[in-house]
Amino acid sequence: MREVSIGEGFGRVNLIGEHLDYNGGHVLPLQIKNKIICKIVKNEINNFISIESDKYNDSFIIKKLERRNDWTDFIIGSCLFFEKRFSITVNNISISIKSSLPLGIGLSSSAAITVSTLKSLSNYFHKNMTDEELINLAFEVENDFVGVGGGVMDQFVSVLGNHNEALFLNTLNKNYELIPIFPDYEFLVIDSNTQRILSDTEFNKKKELCLTAAKKMKIKNLCTKSKINENDIKLLSVDELNVCKHVIEENLRVVEAAKYLRKNKAKEFGKLMTESHVSLSQYYGVSTDNLNKLVDLSNSFGALGSKLTGAGFGGAIVTLVKKELVEELKKYILDGYPNAKFI
């Protein structure tokens, strides 16, 4: 065991493709520089694990690796699943979490804390994991222990992404491609600074609608379809049709967006971002008045495109703007939305 072990997990902004990773679709996230750092040192408290974080200004003594229904579940779950994976006992350690990544605004802080903890545990106990093993274990922690219920996008980009290339991922077969982002433009993340309300409950409702629609159409994943036909319209409820419309058309938009990114066509890419936001708002029903206002302000300034990022119900947007205009855009946004924060 090492005396001190450090693990990092980066956040991400999803440029296009929201709510597709649990529907077998394509996504296009970009790793951001904001990250979570997990530091592990040996402690002298027998059979206990201590956890502290600068974000919560609190500390805990963990006697059993079981759910507490708070942010520590990602760390506890990581310790438990790491134990099972390597048949070892995880105890007598102090875990310290430091973060430059805003929590709960749709930038994948949950995947970042899980990945950083697993990396630090791996270093501390001298256990090697491949990138694929790390991604899969982090996914299992979030889904099977914490109960987040998302797809594999966040773990993938936290482990395999970088700050200069978007990760074009087929979540069904796990094939991916790193595509350089536009050199003269910036993907600016703007936090609405409003709490996400009922996000877990509403997220689960949307996911259930997708599963029910797929079952009715006798397919495993909605993204295996390329269009909604007349028979589908007869089978599905209005709410099911709406989520299907977003998922199926969004999947096509992501594939098209990746083509534009490869060809350095920023204007066309930005248009797809705004189309994505309209779909998330009108059909998937996960936007808010504040997110819509930030999108409208950004686009009225002259951004090439804007959309919410993450699950929605609050949180942040991402907008595509020329690098030379970023500071001017920030002033324009603050004039119309004083509570905005820039990531």
CATH code at 120? 3.30.230.10
Nearest to 294 by CA among 223, 189, 206, 213: 189
Phi, psi of 181 (to 5 degrees): -80, 170
**Strand 58-62 vs strand 26-27: parallel, antiparallel, or unpaired?**
unpaired
Residue 197: is its pLDDT beyond 70? no
Please state, in angstroms and rounded to a whole number, the distance separating the CA atoms of residues 118 and 8. Answer: 9
pLDDT for position 338? 98
Is residue 128 located within the same domain as residue 243?
no
Tell me, yes or no, if 335 is annotated catalytic.
no
332, 278: one domain: yes
Among residues 161, 180, 199, the one where a domain terminates is 180
Domain match, 123 and 24 both: yes
* pLDDT, mean of residues 252-275: 98
Instruction: Tell which of 180, 203, 230 closes a domain.
Output: 180
Sequence-separated (6 or more) residues with CB below 8 Å from residue 310: 14, 18, 105, 106, 107, 108, 316
Of 21, 73, 154, 191, which is the active-site residue? 154
Give the C-alpha separation, 75 to 67, whole Å.
10
Count Cβ atoms below 10 Å from residue 232 Cβ, excluding itself.
17
In the predicted model, is pLDDT for residue 60 greater than 70?
Answer: yes
Instruction: Name the residue range of residue 95's domain.
Output: 4-180
Centroid of chain to Cα 328: 28
Number of domains in the chain: 2
Could you say which of 120, 151, 180 is where a domain stops? 180
Q: How far apart are CA 69 and CA 335, in angstroms?
A: 39
Whether residues 169 and 70 share a domain: the answer is yes
Note the pLDDT of residue 171: 96
Residues 57 and 160 in one domain: yes
Is pLDDT above 80 for 1?
no
Gap between the Cα atoms of 292 and 279, Å rounded? 12
pLDDT value for 57: 74
